[in-house]
C-alpha cells in the first residue's frame, strides 16, 4: 500500500484531537481526593493519659507542705482528674474513634482534654513548691506528655478539616461543570417520503375501489330489465 501525503496529515490531527478530548474530560470531572489515613484520638492520647494516671497514683497531697484549704483543693483536683480519666473521657474518645475524620465527633474529646490539662497544670504548679521531688518530677513529665498529645490531636483535627474542605470544593466544582455541560440534542424522527411507486400503488387501489360500485349498478340494471321483460310477457299472455 502506498502512503500518500494525506495519510501523514490526517494521523497527527487524530492524535491531537484525542489528546484534547482526554484533557477536557479530566478537567470537567476531577476526582475527589481520597481521605488521608487517619490516626484515632485514642491512639494519639493513649500514652499521655497513661502517664497522667501513673503520676496521680503516686501522689500523696495530704503530706505536702500546704495549708488545710490548699490540701483539700489539691486532693479535690486529683480526684476530679482520676474521675475524668476513668468515666468521662473514654466514651468521648470512643465516639471520636468511630468517625476520626469528623471534627464534630472529635471536638468534645478535645475540649475535655483541654480542661483536663488546665486542672493538671494547677496540681503540677502546687506540687513543684510543696511536693517531694519524685512526685513533682512525675507531675512535670505527665504534664509535658499531655501537652504533646493535646497538640497532636489538635493538629490532627486541622488536617482532617482541611482535607474535608478540599473534597467539598472538588465535588462542588464537578457539580458546576456538569450543570454547565451542553445537554444532548434530541434527534428528530425520520419522515416518510412517498415515492412515485407508492403513489402509483395508491392510485391503483383507489381505482379498484371506485369500479366495484359500477359493477353492482350494472347487475342491478340488468336485473331490472329482466324483471320488466318478464312482466310484459305475462301481460301479453293474459290478453
Domains of the chain and CATH, by start: 41-179 (1.20.1440)
The model's pLDDT over 18-46, given as tens digits with 9 standing for 90+, comes to 444 444 444 444 454 454 556 899 999 99
The model's pLDDT over 77-128, given as tens digits with 9 standing for 90+, comes to 999 999 999 999 999 999 999 999 899 999 999 999 999 999 999 999 999 9
Q: Are 84 and 181 in contact (CB under 8 A)?
A: no
Tell which phi-psi region holds residue 177, choosing left (phi > 0), alpha (psi between -120 and 50) or beta. Answer: alpha
pTM higher than the cut 0.75? no
What pLDDT was estimated at residue 18?
Answer: 47
Distance separating alpha carbons of residues 41 and 39, to the nearest angstrom = 7
User: Which residues have a Cβ under 8 Å from the Cβ of 114 and sit 6 or more positions away?
Assistant: 150
Amino acid at each position: 500500500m502506498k502512503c500518500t501525503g494525506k495519510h501523514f496529515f490526517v494521523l497527527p490531527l487524530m492524535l491531537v484531537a484525542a489528546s484534547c478530548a482526554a484533557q477536557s474530560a479530566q478537567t470537567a470531572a476531577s476526582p475527589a481526593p481520597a481521605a488521608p489515613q487517619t490516626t484515632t484520638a485514642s491512639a494519639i492520647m493513649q500514652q499521655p493519659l497513661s502517664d497522667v494516671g501513673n503520676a496521680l497514683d503516686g501522689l500523696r497531697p495530704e503530706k505536702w507542705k500546704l495549708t488545710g484549704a490548699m490540701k483539700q483543693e489539691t486532693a479535690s483536683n486529683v480526684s476530679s482528674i482520676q474521675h475524668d480519666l476513668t468515666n468521662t473521657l473514654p466514651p468521648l474518645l470512643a465516639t471520636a474513634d468511630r468517625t476520626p475524620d469528623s471534627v464534630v465527633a472529635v471536638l468534645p474529646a478535645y475540649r475535655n482534654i483541654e480542661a483536663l490539662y488546665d486542672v493538671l497544670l494547677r496540681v503540677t504548679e502546687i506540687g513543684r513548691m510543696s511536693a517531694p521531688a519524685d512526685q513533682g518530677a512525675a507531675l512535670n513529665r505527665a504534664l509535658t506528655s499531655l501537652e504533646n498529645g493535646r497538640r497532636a490531636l489538635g493538629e490532627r483535627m486541622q488536617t482532617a478539616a482541611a482535607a474535608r474542605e478540599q473534597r467539598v470544593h472538588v465535588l462542588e466544582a464537578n457539580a458546576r461543570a456538569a450543570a454547565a455541560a451542553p445537554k444532548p440534542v434530541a434527534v428528530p424522527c425520520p419522515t416518510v417520503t412517498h415515492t412515485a411507486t407508492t403513489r402509483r400503488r395508491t392510485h391503483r387501489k383507489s381505482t379498484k375501489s371506485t369500479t366495484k360500485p359500477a359493477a353492482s349498478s350494472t347487475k342491478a340494471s340488468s336485473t331490472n330489465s329482466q324483471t320488466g321483460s318478464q312482466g310484459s310477457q305475462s301481460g301479453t299472455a293474459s290478453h
